[in-house]
Structure 1
Amino acid sequence: MTLHDETVRTLVMTAIGDLATSHGGWVTRAELSALQLADGTTRRAIDQSRGIWNPRDLDATLSVLSSPSGPYADEQIADGLYRYSYREGGPGGDNRKLVRAYELQVPIILLLWLEPGKFAPVFPCYVTDNAPEERAVYIAAADSPPHDLLAAGSSVLERRWVERMTTQRLHQAAFRGKVLLAYRSTCAICNLQHPEFLDAAHIIEDKNERGEPVVPNGLTLCKIHHAAYDRRFLGISPDYRVHIDLDLLREKDGPMLRHGLQEMHGSTLTLPRARRDHPDRDRLELRYQRFLESQSS
């Protein structure tokens, strides 16, 4: 990778990361079409109409877009990789630079479609394999090229660890973007509206078979309420009411405890506008039972 190529990719990924953080895990097509970089320049980071963006001054693809309504069979596969289809046509054009990203092992950006005009960016990603017989490449989210992470002779356990990290990165990026969009970047409990302080919290953890990374299994919570929820200082019943740990209610500490937690007792969640995005009541019940068990112990 040339110095120019490395500099451009670093500037673009830094700018996209800053935007995603300020929004809550997503970026818009308009922002990606005229990305403001730290060196004062403006650069496009998404193609106008196609799924693969190949800037003329770069040797390999910069970003790829995956959309469920697209014409190609892109999918997340079981081993933690993302299968991305070639464009129609021969080995040249967009496909040539996509394959070149594999050969050079340069970091690229995977843009996961959330809703019209909004995407969850995942980076750095690497093209881990080129499969011309399938007319596809395989993409993994990793901090370093998988060739570096998995040297020849790596154990099965090492490979499974890298695959699990890849799966989590892809799931988490899309999950966060979808949940914060549904809740309009607002804490469901206290209505805080600063995405930098918000998390996409699972109702049922992702290691559980019912812990799918879907909006009805998620809540947008600020950092303090997410921590309280995970540690069973806070419970949410299936009627969307907030319950605070009984011992915590009796404590006398300071304004954060009083206003941040104790005064939330008995309040009702702020829900997404779309009913399909409301928290799943069965999942809430399962989680709430754990909270109740902690109250009786």
Structure 2
Amino acid sequence: MSDSYMEDAFSARLRAAAMDWLRLRCTDEDPVVRRGELLGFHFEGERIPLVDPNRGIRKPKYMTAALSILTTYTAPGKRPPYDDKPGSDGLLRYKYRGRDDKQADNVALRVAHERKLPLIWFYGVAPGLYLPRFPAWLIAEEKDQFQFAVALDEAQLSIPVGSQASVAQRRYAERLTRQRLHQPVFRAQVLRAYEGSCAICNLRHASLLDAAHIMRDSHPEGIPAVSNGLALCKIHHAAYDKNFLGIRPDYTVEIREDLLDEEDGPMLRHGLQEMDGIALKIPKLRQDRPSIAAIMSRYEEFKKSA
């Protein structure tokens, strides 16, 4: 293998160990990691933080290529410090630090790109709380726009960067980006807002919970924002999607009338029928509470389906 595709043995071990640790640390029950944990990472007897205390690009002193990149959490309604959004090809971008392509952090990103090394992307879902996405690869540098194109999946590595991507390739890239980043981030933020429990039945096993859209994902207003989300267990998520249950504008759960008269078994009785008329659990922070406009629109859909 060419030297341009390699890094020294210590750096390669560190990169692999960091990803192995994250695979074990971030589970279905607890997929996010705290900043203190990342700063306290130890490798071969030495503390080697996986993120930089003050910057978004992390290159430990032992390495020539970047190890991780970070996107800071931005509160609803606030403008993010960097605009790491998809390009016309559907691939995400990660901005330079500043605009000098010779700045040390940007050089570290370029080395990772040239050597085709995998990175860890820490995406902020709350202050000091990150969802790690890895491996990620920098697959093109766009110096005129002070950024790198990022692949979050091996399938994205073969997608042409920029205007050469076809409509089908762009849509494919966008779908993979939703699956690998946007949907997991949305889920992590919604479950955190609802304190890791179903808003209807209070089930607290995170691996059995989903982030349900109020306005459907396919709707123009079905944005992946906490105010358009509900933490629901899988049975209540499915029931909500199929309009077996609805949520009134006063946050009261309503079960479809024909289901209330059915006799089927304990799941129907305890899982759905007994939920009729209960108050929906809502987040403590006002900014995280379900949008009344979205709830009303979705409730109208539920009533029409009855």
With the length of structure 2 as denominator, give the TM-score of the two structures.
0.82
Structure 1 pair 11–196 and aligned structure 2 pair: CA distance change class (3 A):
farther
Q: What 5-or-longer segments of structure 2 have no aligned partner?
A: none
Quote the residue 1:148 is aligned against.
158
Distance 2:187 2:217 in 1: 13
Over residues 70-97 of structure 1, what are the superposed CA-to-partner deviations in whole Å (9 max), with x where a residue is unaligned? 9953331353333322224562522222
1:73 partner letter: Y
Cα pair distance change 1:154/1:281, threshold 3 Å: closer
| Aligned counterpart, 1:73 | 82
Kept after mapping to 2: 8 A contact 1:85/1:136: yes
Cα drift, residue 107 of structure 1 = 2.5
Residue matched to 2:113: 102
1:69-148 matched pairs, under 5 angstroms: 72-77=81-86, 79=88, 80-88=90-98, 91=102, 93-142=104-153, 144=154, 146-148=156-158
RMSD: 3.1
Change (3 A) 1:17 1:102: same
Structure 1 pair 176–212 and aligned structure 2 pair: CA distance change class (3 A): same
The answer for the alignment partner of 1:21 in structure 2 is 27
Aligned partner of residue 199 in structure 2, secondary structure: coil
Task: For 1:44 and 1:158, locate their aligned partners in 2 and report how far apart those are by CA, in whole Å.
Answer: 37
Corresponding position of 1:243: 254
Partner residue of 1:53 out of 43, 58, 70: 58
2:222 paired with 1:211: yes
Q: How many residues align?
A: 292
Change (3 A) 1:158 1:74: closer
Taking the aligned partners of 1:229 and 1:13, their CA distance within structure 2 comes to: 36
CA distance 1:173–1:42, change in 2 (3 Å): farther
Q: TM-score, normalised by structure 1?
A: 0.84
- Contact 1:108-1:125 at 8 Å conserved across structures: yes
User: Against the structure 1 CA distance between its residues 251 and 14, is the aligned structure 2 distance closer, same or farther, given a 3 Å change threshold?
Assistant: farther
Q: Could you tell me how far 1:36 is from its partner in structure 2?
A: 7.6
1:62 pairs with one of 61, 67, 71 = 67
Q: Secondary structure at the match of 1:75?
A: coil
Is the 8 Å Cα contact of residues 151 and 157 (structure 2) preserved in structure 1? no
AA aligned opposite 2:257: L
Bigger mean CA deviation after superposition, 12-21 or 101-110: 12-21
Mapped contact 2:254–2:276 kept (Cα < 8 A): yes
For residues 253 and 57 of structure 1, what CA distance do their matches in structure 2 show? 64
CA deviation profile, 1:139-170 (whole Å, cap 9, x unmatched) = 2322x06333559x874413331233224533
Aligned residues: percent identity? 41
Equivalent residue number for residue 185 of structure 1 = 196
Question: Residues of 2 paired with 1:219 and 1:36: CA distance?
Answer: 37
Q: Which runs of 5+ in 1 are unaligned?
A: none
Check 1:32–1:71 CA distance in 2 against 1; reply closer, same or farther (3 A cut). Answer: same
